[in-house]
Structure 1
């Protein structure tokens, strides 16, 4: 069902959202929502990546990729375990079906990165600058995305469990048909989010700095919002139910 978007909070510009009062990153006890389990990544001593292009179905273990230009390369089906990617370019990098485990991605940037049907587990993504990243059909478990900005994030039909978005800006994120369980949005900006056909369980939206929902407000069962957000949402709920509100 398409509805007009709802906006809660002030619109923020730049890579970091403002910090909401009282935000701790952990859902409060007795709040009626289970908090997400965050990743605890402790990398071993890493070897520098020796250069060369990514290989399909490659196996990368205990490596540091720093300032690497991986744009346009094909690493589909590869496995990254105990790796650090820092200040790497991922423009149109093909990483379909990739597995990223116990790894930290810092200051990655790129447009059109293809991570469709990838598996990310125990991963920290810090200060990304991405546009049009494809994560449809992906599985994310114990993933932290902190800071930065992601435009047009495609998570359609993805499965998210124990995922935290913190202090980041998400422009038109698409959660259509996705399953979200124990997902938190902390001090972050969501602009024109699409939850159409999504399934939400223990999703905490209360501490989003800005919340705009373009589609799928009827799919918010299983989410927790604040009283202020409920007031802002009232006209949207009324519209979705076909109720006219007149003075």
Structure 2
């Protein structure tokens, strides 16, 4: 019997930022290209920054309620302690991005491309990754009420020390997706878990759901 290959872990490139220039929130403009900026304690709430490019930047302690970052490009950028009720990053490109200790209500990243992205110690009510392309993405010590991967393509995605109430994987395409570090309550479509890895404890928790999916009646 052929043995299955072990699950491949995400490969996350380390971000090293040097000689950043402090800048006010007004320095950022939609469709603008910005490199090497440090925004600390600034308020970007309700700003239309769609199409903006941030390269080798740091956003620290920034408020971003209902900020529009659609079709933006975040490259080699670090975000720490962001507070946002709604953050729109739909159809964006995130490459070599780290998001630490942030509190976000609704994070819209649908149809976006995420490569070498790391979330650490974040609390998110809902992350919308529908139709997104994820490669080498890691969530560490995060609490997310709902993770929506419907229709997404994910390769080398992992969760470590995380918890979610609901995981949506309807029509998703998963490869080397490691869910062993994700405590979850509900999965909306077990067929969508094909290509994911779970541990024995998760398999036991989902046993009733697996049985129902296969048409098996469980009676004591």
TM-score normalised over the length of structure 2:
0.95
**Which residue is equivalent to 2:15?**
41
- 2: CA distance, partners of 1:95 / 1:36: 25
**Which residue is equivalent to 1:90?**
64
The 5-angstrom pairing of residues 106-185 of structure 1 reads 106-185=80-159
Post-superposition shift, 1:122? 0.5
**Which residue is equivalent to 2:203?**
230
Q: Indicate if the aligned counterparts of 2:128 and 2:149 stay in contact, CA closer than 8 A.
A: yes
Structure with more contact order per residue of length (Cα contacts < 8 Å, sep ≥ 6): 1
CA-to-aligned-CA distance 1:223-245 (integer Å, 9 cap, x gap): 11111111121111111122211
Q: CA RMSD in A?
A: 1.3
Deviating 4+ runs (over 2 angstroms)? none
Structure 1: segments with no counterpart, 5+ residues: 1-29
Q: Indicate if the aligned counterparts of 1:39 and 1:144 stay in contact, CA closer than 8 A.
A: no
- 2: CA distance, partners of 1:44 / 1:228: 44
- The count of corresponding residues between Structure 1 and Structure 2 is 217
| 2:80 is aligned with 1:80 | no
- 2: CA distance, partners of 1:213 / 1:198: 16
**Which residue is equivalent to 2:173?**
199
Structure with a larger share of its residues in strand? 2
- 2: CA distance, partners of 1:94 / 1:229: 37
Q: Indicate if the aligned counterparts of 1:53 and 1:70 stay in contact, CA closer than 8 A.
A: no
